[in-house]
Amino acid sequence: MRLPRIKPEHRPGRLGDGVIRIGGTVYGVAGEIADPNGWAWTALGLMDGSNTSEQIADALLRRFAALRPEQAARLVETLIGSGYVEDAAAAPPPELGSEELDRYSRSHAFFRRIDLAPREHGWEAQLRLKRARVIVLGLGGTGSHAASALAASGVGSLHCVDPDRVELSNLNRQVLYREKDIGRFKAEVAAERLGELNSGIAVTSSLDRVDDERTLTALLEGFDVLALCADRPKDPEGIRIWANRACAAAGIPWVGGGYDGPLVTVGTYSARSGACYECVCAGEDALRRHDLDIGHGGPGVMAPSAGISGQLVAHCVISLITGVPDPRPGTVRGLNLVGPDQNVFIHHQPRPDCPFCGAGEESGAEAGE
């Protein structure tokens, strides 16, 4: 890193007792540094983008007689490695044009804030999104919100699949459609609307109806992630089982989201790490938690519950693609809208004999590697 600079979102403050708080107050991002001698505080003050690492270390040595050269160098290196520092000399990658830098400037700030891995220019997550190929299966309540968020976020290739036509009863939650679209194929309308939202990405569509695992396997060809937003056919041997097995065979991760009335849950699965869908279900069955439906598709839905479901799907897909934040495959998360203190987080180990998962715990970007 040529010219270290504290990220604007991570400006540090002193708490007293020689402790520095950095990265704001959000759990998972914020950190504290014990700094009894004021060395780190001084070093952070010098990280304004005008000094090299060597110049910062030299300035520390001039100011603090007790500091040894190797300590000063290590301190600077540690602060740079903390993820709270960016390189003021880094230029955006040429693969992103000026319009993209403007369009995704707030996404850049978001990733810059929550990504605590030292990066070259801070646009790595956006580049991964641009290179990603995502298939969204099902364009109903969950899928229409998920596809909108993925298109807006700059997923480079988005394929929308749904065999159904728009109906009046869809319009209480399916945000891609208008009254004038009633009777048209959802996939075609969705591709139009998403193209209007973001003309810088490639949006395609098809009317495939998935009635078996073989059909789904064929659809996955050429994609990095599946966003499963359809809930039919139901388990057992339904669409989630097919997704689990087809994605394992294709070697791609997937996200499955939906709702059971006010309970919204979204699962993230990868054959490379964490438990697969069938192992998570087995774990829940062993706990006899039949009240927690991770198969989805229960009756009753409105715009907020569909929106939360779809947006959570998009969030999990983005984290699979970018590694930011850690996608934590093998987990189910969600909200209970009638029990706001009952947030959902489910995590199980892979079954020892599972043919679809169990490669061990990993973290980082899962898609498009």
User: Per rule CB under 5 A, is residue 282 in the interface with Zn ion?
Assistant: no
Residue 64: exposure state from Cβ atoms within 10 A (0-12, 13-18, ≥19): middle
Q: Any alpha helices (H) in the chain, and if so which ranges?
A: 39-46, 53-63, 69-81, 98-103, 105-114, 124-131, 141-153, 186-197, 213-219, 239-250, 277-286, 303-322
Question: Strand, helix or coil at 147?
Answer: helix
Convert 214-224 to b/e letters by CB count within 10 Å (16 or more is b).
eebbebbeebb
- Orientation angle between helical segments 69-81 and 53-63, nearest 10 degrees: 130
Closest CB 352 distance from Zn ion, rounded Å: 10
Q: Which of 87, 90, 61 is nearest to 75 (CA)?
A: 61
User: Per rule CB under 5 A, is residue 356 in the interface with Zn ion?
Assistant: yes
* Degrees to nearest 5, angle at CA 342 with 338 and 347: 135
Binding mask 8-47 for Zn ion (x = CB under 5 A): ----------------------------------------
Among 57, 116, 125, 357, binds Zn ion (CB under 5 A): 357
**Which range, of 67-75, 294-302, 307-315, 354-362, touches Zn ion by CB under 5 A?**
354-362
Q: Are 361 and 124 in contact (CB under 8 A)?
A: no
User: Per rule CB under 5 A, is residue 324 in the interface with Zn ion?
Assistant: no
Closest CB 276 distance from Zn ion, rounded Å: 3
Task: Read off the tokens for 219.
Answer: 């659809």
For Zn ion, the closer of residues 39 and 277 by Cβ is 277
**Any residues with CB less than 8 A from the CB of 235 and at least 6 apart, and which?**
241, 281, 295
Cα dihedral 61, 63, 66, 70 in deg (nearest 10): -20
> Distance of CA 162 to CAs 46, 176, 236, 314, Å?
55, 13, 21, 17
Closest CB 286 distance from Zn ion, rounded Å: 14
Closest CB 215 distance from Zn ion, rounded Å: 22
For Zn ion, the closer of residues 104 and 269 by Cβ is 269
**Which range, of 31-39, 89-97, 248-256, 276-284, touches Zn ion by CB under 5 A?**
276-284
Task: Read off the tokens for 197.
Answer: 């939202």
For Zn ion, the closer of residues 119 and 240 by Cβ is 240
Closest CB 244 distance from Zn ion, rounded Å: 8
**Which range, of 203-211, 289-297, 311-319, 346-354, touches Zn ion by CB under 5 A?**
346-354
Closest CB 269 distance from Zn ion, rounded Å: 9
**Which range, of 37-45, 138-146, 274-282, 321-329, touches Zn ion by CB under 5 A?**
274-282
Closest CB 259 distance from Zn ion, rounded Å: 24
For Zn ion, the closer of residues 141 and 283 by Cβ is 283
Among 276, 306, 313, 346, binds Zn ion (CB under 5 A): 276
- Expressed in angstroms, the distance from the first to the final Cα of the chain is 25
**Which range, of 103-111, 180-188, 278-286, 360-368, touches Zn ion by CB under 5 A?**
278-286
For Zn ion, the closer of residues 182 and 354 by Cβ is 354
User: Per rule CB under 5 A, is residue 279 in the interface with Zn ion?
Assistant: yes
For Zn ion, the closer of residues 39 and 356 by Cβ is 356
Q: How many residues bind Zn ion (CB under 5 A)?
A: 6
User: Per rule CB under 5 A, is residue 354 in the interface with Zn ion?
Assistant: yes
Closest CB 63 distance from Zn ion, rounded Å: 56
How many C-beta atoms surround the C-beta of residue 309 within 10 A? Answer: 29
Which residues make beta-bridge pairs with 344? Answer: 334
Instruction: Give me the phi and psi of 264, to 5 degrees please.
Output: -110, 125
User: Per rule CB under 5 A, is residue 271 in the interface with Zn ion?
Assistant: no
Convert 182-205 to b/e letters by CB count within 10 Å (16 or more is b).
eeebbbbbbbebbbeebeebebeb
For the residues of 303-337, what is the DSSP string, one character each?
HHHHHHHHHHHHHHHHHHHH-SS---TTEEEEEET
For Zn ion, the closer of residues 162 and 235 by Cβ is 235
For Zn ion, the closer of residues 20 and 354 by Cβ is 354
For Zn ion, the closer of residues 282 and 302 by Cβ is 282
Interface residues with Zn ion (CB under 5 A) are: 276, 279, 350, 354, 356-357
